[in-house]
Amino acid sequence: MRIAALIALPLVIASASPALAKGCIRGAAAGAVGGHFVGKGHAVLGAAAGCAVAHHYYSKQARAQKAAARAHR
């Protein structure tokens, strides 16, 4: 059951914003590994947190790239 949740969460979030799916999957994988080493049952929480953090980072990076593209016009 936990494996299904671990797989389903990033897929649901990735389907909401396909442009940032790569960051979410990377963050979820790193968070799941970190959560696994913290303690039993924390892998899913780590995956959710990792996905949210990576999603925020990549959206921030995308906004900066758009602003830079507008400045060069």
The tens digit of pLDDT for each residue in 41-70 reads 788 888 989 988 888 888 888 899 999 988
Q: Over pLDDT 70: what percentage of the chain?
A: 73
C-alpha torsion 52→16→8→6, nearest 10: -10
pTM, to two decimals: 0.62
Q: Which two tokens stand for residue 21?
A: 């799916």
Q: Count structural domains, the chain.
A: 1
Distance CA 66, CA 40 (A): 41
Domain containing 48 equals 2-71
Average pLDDT over residues 25-51: 88
